[in-house]
Amino acid sequence: MKKLICCLIFGIFLIWSCDSQKPSSPSSANPFYIYKQYGAPVYYGEGCNPGIDFDISQGTPIIAATDGEVSFVGDSDPDVSYSGGIFVRVQNAQHFDMIYRHLSKAYVEKGQLLTRGQLIGLSGASNDGVHHLHFGICKIEGNFQKYSQTHDPQKFWLDGKPQCFDPGADYSKYYQKGITIPIACRAYAKELIPQACRQVFHLFHQQDIVSSRNLWNMQEQALHCDGMPCFCHSL
């Protein structure tokens, strides 16, 4: 009985201590559903979500939220349920790191300089099978899984509100002072599909395994634009 009471008290404290907001619904500004907000209770790290989680289909183009330099690209821990997929870390000149987790494919490498809107990879899933993008902002070389070493990404939106990246807009005055949504939206997502397909082919070619079967698999590679599937072979 004492153990049960202690667990209930700890759970209440955990929820109270996390600076969590309600899940956000898609809107004209942000067409993607954020199903787990920054600070929401989680069972890892310090018990509070150290980023925001976008509910998106696997194969959705993930793009740079602002300019930066890739500091890490690698696989996540395969034995941890909340981990999984490819993890990309990008250092921003304003002295924080941007975290892109659970990617199914990455098209960048360590040391590469990125510009806002550049294709980073395709979304995937965590080891527990949940398809989503975990996006976080943490201190330079900080532990991105610790809530105390991270910042709420939604406080970094360009002009204080979520915005889709517009390839025709001039972001020079902002440089790295604000972020756009790290997911390709609307028409721009469709523009990126041919580029992503070329990257898929390039990966097969690099591995020297371009066979008729692999080419067929490449052609059937499903990508997504705002949740709608687009296929390489249909372009």
- CATH number of the domain at 57, please: 2.70.70.10
What local confidence, expressed as pLDDT, does residue 22 receive?
58
Whether residue 151 is predicted with pLDDT greater than 90 in this model: the reply is yes
* Residues 111 and 166 grouped into a single domain: yes
Say whether both 86 and 196 belong to one domain.
no
Q: Could you tell me if 161 and 198 lie in one domain?
A: no
Q: Assess whether 229 and 163 both reside in one domain.
A: no
**Once rounded to an integer, what is the mean pLDDT over residues 89-105?**
90
Q: Indicate the number of domains in the chain.
A: 2
Q: Residue 232: what pLDDT?
A: 58
Instruction: Compare 227 and 66 and report the one with higher pLDDT.
Output: 66
Separation of alpha carbons 171 and 217, rounded Å = 37
Domain shared by 21 and 84, yes or no: yes
Distances 233 to 25, 220, 227 between C-alpha atoms, Å: 33, 7, 18
153, 21 Cβ separation under 8 angstroms: no
Note whether 155 and 203 are same-domain residues: no
CA dist., res. 30 & res. 21, Å (int) = 16
User: Are 60 and 105 found together in one domain?
Assistant: yes
Mean pLDDT value of segment 35-64: 92
Residue 2 located in a structural domain: no
For 82, the domain range is 13-184
Give the pLDDT confidence score for residue 157 in this predicted structure: 93
- Report yes or no: 28 and 130 within 8 Å, Cβ to Cβ: no
- Please indicate, yes or no, if residue 3 is contained in any of the structural domains: no
For residue 102, being part of any structural domain is answered with yes
